Structure 1
C-alpha cells in the first residue's frame, strides 16, 4: 500500500495517535477540544497525502527546503500556519508544537511499515517525500508561530504602555492642581477622588499582568482557601467598583444565604471586580448591571449581566483567551478600554477554585456566569452550566 493511500485509509487511527499525544502535552489552561485537535491533524495529514500524490520535485528539493527557499503546495502552508496560530492562541510553547510533529512522524512511519510496498526503492522514496512534506509543514508552523509571538509581545507592550499612561497622567495632573494654595474644599475632594480612581485602575492592571505572567510561565495561581461568605465577597467587590465608578447602577439579587464555603477571598474579590469592570467598560452606561448569586448543583453560581452589543459565536469562543480583544481591534479607542486580560484572569482563578466559567450573549444582553463548588463538590464540577436567565448585559473584554 502506498503511503498516501495508507494515510487516507487510516486517518482516524493516525488522528487518534495525534490527539493522545497532544493531550499529554497540555494542561487545563490549554483548552483545545478534541474536535479542534482532530480537525487540525486531519487537515495536515490529508494535505501531506495530496503532496505525496503530486509530481515528484526531486531536484534540489531537500537542499532548498533546508535553505528556507522551498515553496511547496499552498495547502500544506495554509494548514501549517493555521496550526501554529491555534497553538499560539491556546498557550502551547514552541517545544510542545514541535513535539507534535515528531509524534506524527513516528506514528505514521511506524504504522505504515507493515503496509509498505515490497519494493524497497519505492518505500524509501515515499518515506523521503513524506519527511520533506512534514518538514515543510514544521518549518511553516515554526515561522508563523514566532511571527505571532513577536506580534503578541509588541502588542502587549504597546497596550500596557497605553493603559498605564491614562491613570498616571490623571494622578500627575491632580497632584499638580492640589499644590495650589487656595483651593475650594469641594475641588480638593474631587481631585482626591480622581487620584483614588486612577490608583484603582493601576492596581487592577498590575494584578492582571502579574497573574498573566505567572500562568503563562507555567505556575499555578497560589490559593489561600479559608472559610468565607461568597455573598460578603460579592458585596465587597460591588462596593469597591462603585466607589471608583461614579453613577454606576447595580441591581443585585444575592438572596439571604451567606453562601459559606472555602474560598480565597482576595482572589475571588478580584474575579468579581474584573467582571464588574468589564461590564462597566463595554456595557451601555445608561443601563444597570445585574448581579445574581444563588445555589446550584452542589455549589454556588454568580452571574454578571449588562446591556450592550450582542457578541457573535466566534468572539464568544475566544473571549477568555488573553489579549484577544487587543489582537482583534488594535485601534486606540478600543485599546484604551483595557489590556484584555480581565476575563482570562477570571477563568484561571475560577479554575483554581475547581469551578467553571462561561459567557452567553443574545438580544443585546451578555452574561458572564461562573460556578464554584461547595466543599463536598470541589473535586467534581458539573460538565455544563445550565441556560442563563434572561437578564441584561454587554460586550466583554477580549
Structure 2
C-alpha cells in the first residue's frame, strides 16, 4: 500500500519542476503557469469531497478500480495537450484519479489496531512523503532527457501497472455505513461541526501545506533564473534534499504516542517557520536553499503524522469521511498556495514568496498554540 500511495501521490507534483519547460514549449506566460499545479490540487480536493466518502459506503477495491482508469486516461490526455486550457483541464482529471491514495490511507488505518495505528499510518505516510518528494527528481530528469511530455507517458504506464497489482492483491473491506450518497456528503458537515479536533487539524494542516506548495511550485522558476540558471533536471534534484521529510515522518510516527500530537506539531511548525526565514535572508545562496528546504520538509512531514493520528482516533466508523474533510482542507490550501505563490513570485520574486510562506506558517503556529490550550468540549 505504501508503494502504491507513493507512486500515485507523485502524479500531483510531477508538473512543478516542468513549469518553465511547459511555458517555453507552449508559449504560456509565467503568470498563468500556476494554474497547472493548482488545477491538479483542485481536482484532488474535489475527489476528496465527492469520492473519498464513498469508502465508508462501498468496497474500496471497486472504487480504486475506477479511479485507476480515470488517472490513466487523464495522464495520457495530458501527454497530448497542446495549449493551456486542455492542460489545466486534464491536470484536474489527474487530480481526481489520484484519489486512490485517499482510499488506501483510511483502509490501512481500519486494518490496524489502536496499539499500532501510529506505526501503520507512519508507514503509509512515509510512502506518501517519498512520492511527493521524489516525484520532482523523476520528472525533472525525464524532462531534461526526453521532454516534459514523456513524464506523463511514464506516469500513465506506472498507473496502469500499480492498478493491476491493487486489483490482484488488495484486501477487501466491509462498508461501515449504509447512508445514501447525499446523506453521506451531508454527514461530513455534521462531523466537522461536531469535532473540534477535526476542525483544528484541518485548518492548521491546510495552512502549512499551502506554504509548502507555494515553495515547490516556485522553486524551479527561482533556480532557473539568475544567479543559478539551473535546468529542469537540476531543479528536480532538490527533491533529493527534500527527502529529509521522510525522516520527519518516520521519527514523528514513533514519537507521537510518547509525546503527543500537540508538541510534535508545534515543533514541526517552528522548523517550517525557520526554513522560510532562511529563504528570506539567503535567497540567492545555494546553501540557504538547501538548509531551508530540509527544515521545511522535516517540519511539514513531521507535523503530518501526528495530525492524522489524532483525526483517525475520532470515530472509527467514519474514517473515510473524516479523512476526506481533513484532506479537503489540506489540498484546498495546496491549490491556493500553488496559485498565489506563483503570483507572488511573478510580482515580487523570491522575497515575496518567502514572506508569503512565512506568514502562513506563523498564522498556523499561533492558531495551533491558542487552540491547544483550550479544553475540548
Structure having the larger proportion of residues in helix? 2
Smaller-chain TM-score range? Answer: under 0.3
TM-score (normalizing by structure 2) = 0.22
Larger relative contact order, structure 1 or 2 (CA cutoff 8 Å, min sep 6):
2
Structure having the larger proportion of residues in strand? 1
Q: Which has the larger radius of gyration?
A: 1
